[in-house]
Amino acid sequence: MYHIERAIFDIRRGLPVVVKAGDQQLLVQALEGIESVNELARLSGSRPSLVLTRHRLESMGVSITADAAYLPLAAQVDERALYALAVAQVEQYDSPALLSGLQPAGMGERGAVALMRRALLIPAALIAVVSGSAADDIAQRLATGELLEVDASDAEACLAGAPGMLKRVSEARIPLEDAVDSRFVLFREPDGLREHVAVVIGRPEAHNEAVPLRMHSACLTGDLFGSLRCDCGEQLRNAVADIEAMGGGVLLYLAQEGRGIGLANKLRAYTLQDGGLDTVDADQVLGFGDDERDYAVAVDMLHALDISRVQLLTNNPLKMRALREGGIKVVARQALYGRLNDHNHRYLNAKATRAGHFLEDVLSNQR
Ligand SMILES: Nc1nc2c(ncn2[C@@H]2O[C@H](COP(=O)(O)OP(=O)(O)OP(=O)(O)O)[C@@H](O)[C@H]2O)c(=O)[nH]1
Ligand SMILES: [Zn+2]
């Protein structure tokens, strides 16, 4: 774990790391921010390949069964064209010839992409097998700590976090406008990369039957600035008021910005949406699935707060399923709406039609 988190910092800074897969060493670097593919080739002693996710390839009309595939790169490669190959809208890069050399990803390539995802970068990686005389140079850089090496299986597992290992770090009384008797309890994931907050409103333990619960994924633009592109800010405030009115409960504020893809990618996705894509397709163009969130951390927080039966405030069927799978009894669901406006109606429609959210009541008002 320790090595993985340091590797993620290096990846985010644009540095290469070594991923060890069996007896092979791969030099791995994020596509995002790469200045020179040739420099990676020189360091590794071999020609790099570009690893793309299944979702990205599907958005280009290529279907594969593996989670990712890699494309060996020609000797002369333009970094900007490569970047476009990983994130630009489909029509521009519908080039079967270019993609004909695709190979299904092995453990090393899958580990490389997992590191990019956990680092909240575009999920596209450059990899090059360490070979020939470069191996001595790499070994020396590893020995001096200039380069880090991680195991491919550890890299692949990093997305799952470390269930059961969440740390309860600190807490304080924070009176809220809509719920004066509130406490913020902060939890930190064991690798130190993400923090989540449980807002405990009133006395949830007084509910014998089921605790009112909101699991809210962070949305900087909506929650903090009142963006009209989504319904998050209003849902957040309504949730606090509803929980207070229900006699207390818990709001889990989860560090899952952009359905787990991070703020940088969400902004990219918004720009793609301005080009005509819906919220699900835009994420897919960037290489992500419909919803990248994992609620294991929420289940851990509920365990830490001694909550096992809930009344969930959501319109999202996936959240209910995730809690049930985590052993939390979802006794009832309560709808939670934000207002429909000219800027968010496409987004809310897509949530209903593409992701099965229960939004009929809101959307039926639009006519
Ligand atoms: N990738 C992406 N994320 C978005 C977009 N619009 C909003 N989001 C994110 O979607 C998430 C919405 O979180 P929630 O409101 O907790 O959940 P939900 O899936 O809408 O389900 P509810 O419980 O019914 O509200 C937040 O993390 C937002 O940042 C978008 O267009 N693209
Ligand atoms: Zn939002």
Active site residues: 291, 293
Residue 362 pLDDT level (bands cut at 50, 70, 90): confident
Check whether residue 81 and residue 179 sit in a common domain: no
Q: What is the mean pLDDT of residues 162-169?
A: 90
- The CATH number given to whatever domain includes residue 310 is 3.40.50.10990
Residues 32-69: tens digit of each pLDDT: 989 899 999 999 999 999 999 999 999 988 888 999 99
Q: Which of 197, 223, 231, 259 to mutate to test the pocket of ligand 1 (most atoms within 8 A of CB)?
A: 259
Check whether residue 247 and residue 341 sit in a common domain: yes
pLDDT at 78: 86
User: Could you identify the residue written with the tokens 């969930």?
Assistant: 312
- The CATH number given to whatever domain includes residue 99 is 3.90.870.10
Q: What is the mean pLDDT of residues 291-308?
A: 96
- Which residues contribute to the annotated binding site for Zn(2+)? 219, 230, 232
Q: Does 20 map to a domain?
A: yes
- Whether residue 360 is predicted with pLDDT greater than 90 in this model: the reply is no
Cβ(100)–Cβ(55) below 8 Å: no
* Exposed / middle / buried, residue 159 (Cβ in 10 Å: 0-12, 13-18, 19+): middle
- For residue 51, the cross-strand partners are 70, 125
Q: Does 72 map to a domain?
A: yes
Check whether residue 227 and residue 148 sit in a common domain: no
Of 110, 83, 132, the closest CA to residue 19 belongs to 110
Q: Could you tell me the distance, in angstroms and rounded to a whole number, from the CA of residue 228 to the centre of ligand 2? A: 8
pLDDT at 3: 84
DSSP H/E element including 20: strand 17-21
Check whether residue 143 and residue 188 sit in a common domain: no
Note the pTM of the prediction, 2 decimals.
Answer: 0.95
Average pLDDT, the chain: 93
User: Could you identify the residue written with the tokens 């509130």?
Assistant: 182
pLDDT at 217: 98
Q: How far is CA 163 from the centre of its chain?
A: 16
Residues 318-347: tens digit of each pLDDT: 999 999 999 999 999 999 999 999 999 998
* Exposed / middle / buried, residue 105 (Cβ in 10 Å: 0-12, 13-18, 19+): buried
Structural domain ending residue among the three candidates 142, 160, 178: 160
Check whether residue 68 and residue 152 sit in a common domain: yes
User: Which ligand is closest in space to the CA of residue 224?
Assistant: 2
Q: pLDDT > 90: what percent of the chain?
A: 79
Q: Does 338 map to a domain?
A: yes
Check whether residue 178 and residue 222 sit in a common domain: yes
Distance CA(115)–CA(270), nearest Å, equals: 23
Which protein residue's CA is at the shortest distance from atom 12 of ligand 1?
Answer: 217
Q: Does 189 map to a domain?
A: yes
What is the domain extent for residue 325?
167-256+293-365
238 lines ligand 1 (CB under 6 A): no
323 lines ligand 1 (CB under 6 A): no
284 lines ligand 1 (CB under 6 A): no
Q: Which of 230, 297, 354 to mutate to test the pocket of ligand 1 (most atoms within 8 A of CB)?
A: 230
Question: Closest ligand 1 atom, CA of 282?
Answer: 32
Check whether residue 68 and residue 213 sit in a common domain: no
C-beta atoms surrounding 233 within 10 Å: 18
Check whether residue 39 and residue 73 sit in a common domain: yes
Check whether residue 200 and residue 145 sit in a common domain: no
The environment of the single-atom ion ligand 2, i.e. residues with CB closer than 5 A, is 219, 222, 230, 232
Q: Does 94 map to a domain?
A: yes
Structural domain ending residue among the three candidates 160, 178, 213: 160
pLDDT at 90: 64
Q: What is the mean pLDDT of residues 175-179?
A: 98
- Cα angle 233, 239, 245; round to 5: 145
Q: Does 307 map to a domain?
A: yes
Q: Does 95 map to a domain?
A: yes
Residues 102-152: tens digit of each pLDDT: 999 999 999 999 999 999 999 999 999 999 999 999 999 999 999 999 999
- Whether residue 71 is predicted with pLDDT greater than 70 in this model: the reply is yes
How many domains is the chain partitioned into structurally? 2
- Whether residue 1 is predicted with pLDDT greater than 60 in this model: the reply is no
Q: How far is CA 341 from CA 15, 184, 250, 347, in A?
A: 43, 31, 28, 10
Residue 361 pLDDT level (bands cut at 50, 70, 90): confident
Q: Does 93 map to a domain?
A: yes
Residues 6+ apart with CB under 8 A from 6: 148
Q: Could you tell me the distance, in angstroms and rounded to a whole number, from the CA of residue 100 to the centre of ligand 1? A: 35
Q: Could you tell me the distance, in angstroms and rounded to a whole number, from the CA of residue 200 to the centre of ligand 2? A: 22
Check whether residue 23 and residue 90 sit in a common domain: yes
Check whether residue 144 and residue 179 sit in a common domain: no
Check whether residue 136 and residue 173 sit in a common domain: no
Q: Which of 120, 122, 217 to mutate to test the pocket of ligand 1 (most atoms within 8 A of CB)?
A: 217
Structural domain ending residue among the three candidates 144, 160, 176: 160
Q: Could you tell me the distance, in angstroms and rounded to a whole number, from the CA of residue 67 to the centre of ligand 1? A: 24
